[in-house]
Amino acid sequence: MPKISSDTLWDVAAAEVRNRENRTGEEDAEEDAHFPTESTVFLMGSKAGGKTTILLRFLDRDEAPKPTLALEYTFGRRARGHNTPKDIAHLWELGGGISLSDLVQIPITADNISALSVVLVLDLSKPNALWETMERLLESARSQVEKVCASLQKTGESRSGKQPSQNRVSRVLHKDYPDRELINPFPVSLLIIGSKFDIFQFTSSKSETTVSKARSFVNQLAFGTERPKSISTDPSKPLVIPAGLDSLSQIGPPVTSDVDIGTLHAKNPLDLWKKVFERVFPPESIKERKELKDPAKDPQYSEPLIDSMRAQKDQELEQYKREQAKSWKNVALDPKI
């Protein structure tokens, strides 16, 4: 007769825990290969800067891009081989430029922080808004990442089981990196894309070469494919610079005949570049930004029928306000009341 096991459920569970603790990394990797992975890619950047176009090309969707309303979600799947589960990439896109930067708290959470990447798309055809867009959005995203990591450090690890303090950027900026003491690396993987260079020539939907390169970089963030090896530092051509392969000394100081660099008081090389950039391309005024903050007045969300009805209702509201103002004025002047 077969021997009947007398182990209780707790004995079986304890044995399984001991077995997992004794596994080697190779065994874990072999087991993980049979399970799908999940990653999150968060796209943000200039308003109407081409984020949706880049996303659609990444997903192989042949359709015309539509304006992004606030924050939108989609996903992509990719099989690693035959008879293997498909890896999943959760894709978030933030619309509205810097006006909706508070929404970064939705796609950046404790559930996905260990597998999160950020893609910042900057419209090169609008240089006056470029630097502030970059600073404001990266600051909002960094603040949210640090907030999530701080909360996770109290519990010791992320919900996916990975240490929240594990900084993937630190593997790029090695201890001998020349600018290690001058820069503050972004806490998660970051890809910056300059869009609409077709006006000059760069990442545009009209250039298959540049779109293919952008897609390769996004694919690497989403599914962990091999990092693109191409690099281009020729300023007369589209720049392609993987993380860690440039330095402030290679970039050098700003070259301009319009600004006397010696008169600028900068804290570091990046600050110097900012001051020169904003001298050449003055930032947009606060008044202009406030006028465009109302989506109802934004040209990219134009809907003729709805807009005409809205205009009629606005007129009716103004008329009502004027009538009410007159009636309250008469009441205030009535001595009998």
When the candidates are 3.40.50.300, 3.30.70.3400, 2.40.50.100, 3.65.10.10, the CATH number that belongs to 36-251 is 3.40.50.300
**What pLDDT sits at residue 334?**
47
Going by C-alpha positions, the residue among 39, 181, 215, 45 that lies closest to residue 126 is 45
Residue 64 banded pLDDT, cuts 50, 70, 90: confident
**What pLDDT sits at residue 94?**
95
Rounded to an integer, the average pLDDT of 9-32 is: 59
**What pLDDT sits at residue 251?**
87
Is the CB of residue 94 less than 8 Å from the CB of residue 106? Answer: no
Residue 165 banded pLDDT, cuts 50, 70, 90: very low
* C-alpha distances out from residue 199 to 15, 195, 236, 337, Å: 65, 10, 14, 68
In angstroms, the CA 192 to CA 43 distance is: 10
Is the CB of residue 40 less than 8 Å from the CB of residue 116? Answer: yes
Instruction: Give me the residues paired with residue 41 across strands.
Output: 91, 117
Using DSSP's 3-state secondary structure scheme, residue 113 falls into helix
Top pLDDT among 114 and 329 is at 114
* C-alpha distances out from residue 70 to 57, 142, 203, 236, Å: 21, 19, 23, 35
Buried b (16+ CB within 10 A) or exposed e, 91-105: bbbbbbbbbbbebbe
Percent of the chain with pLDDT over 70: 73
In angstroms, the CA 181 to CA 205 distance is: 38
Percent of the chain with pLDDT over 90: 33
* C-alpha distances out from residue 304 to 7, 113, 171, 296, 299, Å: 73, 41, 52, 11, 11
Phi-psi region of 45 (alpha: psi -120 to 50; beta: other; left: phi over 0): left
pLDDT digits (tens, 9 = 90+) for 99-135: 899 999 999 999 999 999 999 999 999 999 999 999 9
* Across 69-73, 152-156, 239-243, least confident range: 152-156
Residue 71 has pLDDT above 70, yes or no: yes
Alpha helices in 198-268 (DSSP H): 208-223, 248-251
Residue 277 banded pLDDT, cuts 50, 70, 90: very high
In angstroms, the CA 37 to CA 90 distance is: 11
Token output for 189: 């993987």
Residue 293 has pLDDT above 90, yes or no: no
* Across 171-180, 196-205, 235-244, least confident range: 196-205
Q: Which of 81-85, 117-121, 162-166, 300-304 has the highest mean pLDDT?
A: 117-121
In angstroms, the CA 121 to CA 103 distance is: 17
Top pLDDT among 173 and 274 is at 274
* C-alpha distances out from residue 334 to 32, 183, 321, 322, Å: 82, 69, 20, 19
**What pLDDT sits at residue 20?**
64
Amino acid symbol at 247: S
Instruction: Give me the residues paired with residue 122 across strands.
Output: 194
Is the CB of residue 264 less than 8 Å from the CB of residue 275? Answer: yes
Token output for 79: 């099989």
**What pLDDT sits at residue 163?**
47
* Across 33-42, 212-221, 296-305, least confident range: 296-305
In angstroms, the CA 74 to CA 203 distance is: 22
**What pLDDT sits at residue 2?**
44
